[in-house]
Chain A
Amino acid sequence: MNEESSVPFTEFWSWLQALPLSEHIGFTWWFPLLESIHVLAIGFVVGTILMVDLRLLGLAAVRYPASRITLELVPWTWLGFVVAFITGFGLFMAGATRYVENPAFQIKFMLLPLAALNMAWFQFRTMRTISSWDDATVPPTTAKLAGATSLLLWIGVLLAGRWTGHLL
């Protein structure tokens, strides 16, 4: 590691990592417990997003309107996301100074905002016209593009997330 850290807020990460809770997570069975719940939560996040993405690509569940698949699954995506975020933050606290320097972790947290942007873009641009293609077996190119982008970004998040553990 460099003498001078390239990552900003060094003192904040050190402070976070030195909290009693962080140390408790890092040195006890809390860490694997949080990690195993993190994986389960990821199952819900990516499992449900995958179904929506495949519907947007016209590859699965085409008998259902795209909006209905999305509306029924999105609460489960959010539930998974909240649990993944809380457990993930717990894991992060335990080794904050190492994670922020970890290239795989940095990539993961570049991909996650991109996935969010893609979702927001889809929500505010493509969903406005959904009534005209909701039942279409072959959704319009913009919807397909959103689905494909989301699929790739989330696979990237999984890979970068898993890779993080190999670089600690």
Chain B
Amino acid sequence: MKDAIANALAESQARELMLYLLGNVPGLPPIVQTFHIAGICIVVGSIVMINLRFLGIAVPSQDITEMLNRLMPWMWWALLVNVLSGLVFVIARPLRYFYNPVFPYKLALLIPAVILAFLVYRLNRSEQKYWESSSSRLRYGQFIATVSLALWVGVIISGRWIAYWDYLPFFYE
């Protein structure tokens, strides 16, 4: 199935268009990448700071419920920007990404990171003060925050390594 999607994309007109735009609009690749990096900055400013707050090591005066209400909408929009700006490059060069050894690792970290963020956000939506209403819930939240933090750091780091997979000998030896 992966081969089918990769080949369909590689032969599509969308690919031709993206490749043409990236190659002919002056500065378009770094501009689209800057959107991607700005999205990363918002992810750090929202979910990463919320996780650090859960763990009691950042922004002590802001409460978890209020941070989730205020910052998570920013995160969802940033995530959308990241998916779209990322897709520009995947569509332009599908084979490069579909057969990149690091790319699956990034997705494998990203998907659970998004699911955990949604879970924390959703439970807070269904019941305000959800995470602060008991110490067992807070501990449960702190466990999720630790995992989430590791996942987001992994997503950001592995994202950059997509372009450098050939520096890692175990991928081709």
List residues of A whose CB falls within 8 A of some B CB.
28-29, 31-32, 35-37, 39-40, 42-48, 50-51, 60-61, 63-64, 68, 72-73, 76, 104, 155, 158-159, 162-163, 165-166
Residues in B with CB closer than 8 Å to A60 are: 70
Determine whether the beta carbon of A40 is less than 8 Å from that of B31: no
Determine whether the beta carbon of B30 is less than 8 Å from that of A163: yes
- Pick the residue among B45, B46, B153, B168 that contacts A40 (CB under 8 A): B153
- Report if B156 contacts A (CB, 8 A): yes
Determine whether the beta carbon of B70 is less than 8 Å from that of A39: no
Among residues of B, the one whose C-beta sits closest to the C-beta of A39 is B160
List residues of B whose CB falls within 8 A of some A CB.
27, 29-31, 33-34, 37-38, 40-46, 48-49, 58-62, 66, 70, 153, 156-161, 163-164, 167-168
Residues in B with CB closer than 8 Å to A155 are: 34, 38
- Pick the residue among A37, A64, A159 that contacts B30 (CB under 8 A): A159
Assembled-state Cα–Cα distance A68/B159 (Å): 33
Chain A: minimal CB distance from B31 (Å): 7
Residues in A with CB closer than 8 Å to B157 are: 36-37, 39-40
Assembled-state Cα–Cα distance A40/B70 (Å): 23
Q: Which of A36, A43, A163 has most chain B Cβ within 10 Å? A: A43
Residues in B with CB closer than 8 Å to A36 are: 156-161
| Secondary structure call for the A interface | helix
Add 18 more A-B contacts to A31-B167, A39-B157, A163-B27 (CB < 8 A): A29-B164, A29-B168, A31-B164, A32-B163, A32-B167, A39-B160, A40-B44, A40-B157, A43-B43, A47-B45, A47-B46, A50-B41, A72-B59, A158-B38, A159-B30, A163-B30, A165-B30, A166-B29
Among residues of A, the one whose C-beta sits closest to the C-beta of B163 is A32
Determine whether the beta carbon of B48 is less than 8 Å from that of A43: yes
- Pick the residue among B37, B45, B59 that contacts A39 (CB under 8 A): B37
Assembled-state Cα–Cα distance A104/B26 (Å): 14
Residues in A with CB closer than 8 Å to B38 are: 46, 155, 158
Q: A47-B42, A51-B45 are in contact. Are A42 and B37 (CB under 8 A)?
A: yes
Residues in B with CB closer than 8 Å to A29 are: 164, 167-168
Residues in A with CB closer than 8 Å to B163 are: 32
